[in-house]
Amino acid sequence: MMKKKLSPKKEKLIQQLIDEFNFETTEDIHEGLKELLGPLMGNMLKSELDDHLGYKEHSQDKKDTSNRRNGYNTKKLKTKNGEIEVQVPRDRESTFEPKLVPKRKRDISNIESKILSMYAKGMSQRDISDTIDDIYGFELSHDTVSKITENVLEELNEWQNRPLKRFYTFLFVDCLYVTVRKDYEVKNYALYTILAYDADGKKDILGIWLNESESKHKWMQIFDEIKARGVEDILFICMDGVSGLEQGAKSIFPEVIVQRCIVHLIRNSLKYVPSKNYKPFTKSIKKVYSAPSLKAAQSEFENFKKTWSSYPGAVSIWERNFHFVEQLFDFGSAVRKIIYTTNPIESVNSSFRKVIKKGAFPNENAVLKVIYLRITELYTKWNSRPISNWALVRNQLDMDPRFQSRFRKFST
């Protein structure tokens, strides 16, 4: 795409600016723009007042209003190039409402959204304050930054209690641990997260919850909560093997299929295998869960048990959980590819870890704020990145007699 050529008039103006300000560095350019910004905005505000009054300043034409100009107020504004002064014109009847710089607004740099973005990336309030000073040339106290981020709590509360969709195809559940100060102690709290795919393959995080530990009882409470928020049916829940979670989920959603994460089973079984054998061991078990059919998987599993019988601890894990491997072959290959791993929720948790690694949080709300802001950033990414091959997944689910009636029920 060809760049649009500047008009001779604009080129002349740029040259005049270069001659006037003697630009040599990018800092010179920013300072020059800062110097020009105040008068430029002042002239634009004068034009706004002309439109409001219906006549230009010093005009000899007949004036159709008794309202007149009434001097100026000096207003300090925070901008991307630092603090500037602007002369805001007044009228006698005080009916002029500037659009360029609305009354009571002193920050035209969208600084609040920038602060929230920095907070979402895990920066401390002190770091944010210092960064604002470095980049924009004005100071924000830690209290100001704190107040801005505190406004997120109300939004977070609304999001956490929002009504949910009636039907989800896949849920991925997992926990990570975050350090919080409480009662003069530093404790590790479990942060529960549920990632969901709806019937159209769109991602959503249904909620985040903090608890002093991960337990099946807390998961039951969470499933009960999302049901109360409107969820009526779920096809699959993919989890990492929390004891009792499967029974807890089915007590709330009786028809749900709970699938154990194969990747977690691999990690757990490798604890019993010498590191020199990691590669051949994982290659051997991959032949089982990636087999083209259930019969082939069962045959490969017999070979696997014979080959690795010298590591009974590793083999025992697969024997106890082989029904989860067999369950995979009840579904089409596209569906299997989604449910065999909890990688989608682990990717979310990886994003969370980037913003909680700075150390202990002063309280639970501080954790929830930064995680919620991180979630809003994830939503922005997900809007432009739909789940790949969703049409194939949806077709395989639609063709399955176990799911057809449930799809029809919630698509009407």
Decide if 133 contacts 141 (C-beta within 8 A): no
pLDDT band at 194 (very low <50, low <70, confident <90, very high): very high
* Percent of the chain predicted with pLDDT > 70: 78
Give the mean pLDDT of 190-208.
94
Give the mean pLDDT of 402-409.
86
Give the mean pLDDT of 11-40.
69
Q: Which helix (H) or strand (E) holds 23?
A: none
pLDDT band at 317 (very low <50, low <70, confident <90, very high): very high
The H-assigned helical ranges of 290-363 are: 294-307, 312-328, 333-339, 343-356
* Domain definitions of the chain by residue range: 162-411
* Structural tokens at position 376: 């809003």
Decide if 84 contacts 31 (C-beta within 8 A): no
Tens-digit pLDDT profile for residues 121-144:
666 666 666 666 665 555 666 666
First to last CA, the chain: 46
Residue 26 clears pLDDT 70, i.e. is over it: no
The H-assigned helical ranges of 229-277 are: 245-252, 262-270
Residue 97 clears pLDDT 60, i.e. is over it: yes
Residue bearing tokens 């100026």: 72
With 0-12 CB in 10 A as exposed, 13-18 as middle and 19+ as buried, what is 286? middle
* Count of CB atoms situated within 10 Å of the CB of 405: 9
User: Looking at residue 117, what is its pLDDT?
Assistant: 67
User: Looking at residue 265, what is its pLDDT?
Assistant: 94
Please tell me whether residue 169 adopts helix, strand or coil conformation.
strand
d(CA 285, CA 36): 68
User: Looking at residue 146, what is its pLDDT?
Assistant: 65
Distance of alpha carbon 267 from its chain centroid, rounded? Answer: 28
Contacts of 211 by beta carbon, 8 Å cutoff, 6+ apart: 189, 190, 192, 218
Decide if 124 contacts 142 (C-beta within 8 A): no
User: Looking at residue 61, what is its pLDDT?
Assistant: 66
User: DSSP string spanning 376-410?
Assistant: HHHHHHHHT-PPTTHHHHHHHHHT-HHHHHHHHHH
* Structural tokens at position 358: 């700075």
Q: Which residue has the higher pLDDT, 65 or 174?
A: 174
60-69, 115-124, 215-224, 277-286: which range is least confident on average?
115-124
Please tell me whether residue 137 adopts helix, strand or coil conformation.
coil
Tens-digit pLDDT profile for residues 246-259:
888 899 999 999 99
User: Looking at residue 154, what is its pLDDT?
Assistant: 82
Tens-digit pLDDT profile for residues 331-371:
999 999 999 999 999 999 998 998 887 778 888 888 888 89
Tens-digit pLDDT profile for residues 232-241:
999 999 998 7
pLDDT band at 105 (very low <50, low <70, confident <90, very high): confident
Residue 2 clears pLDDT 50, i.e. is over it: no
User: Looking at residue 363, what is its pLDDT?
Assistant: 83
Please tell me whether residue 118 adopts helix, strand or coil conformation.
helix
Sheet holding 167-182, edge to edge: 203-211, 185-197, 167-182, 233-239, 257-260
User: Looking at residue 1, what is its pLDDT?
Assistant: 43
Average pLDDT, the chain: 83
Question: Which candidate, 207, 221, 95, 232, places its Cα nearest to that of 157?
Answer: 207
Angle formed at CA 295 by CA 291 and CA 301, multiple of 5 degrees:
65
Residue 185 clears pLDDT 50, i.e. is over it: yes
Tens-digit pLDDT profile for residues 303-313:
999 999 999 99
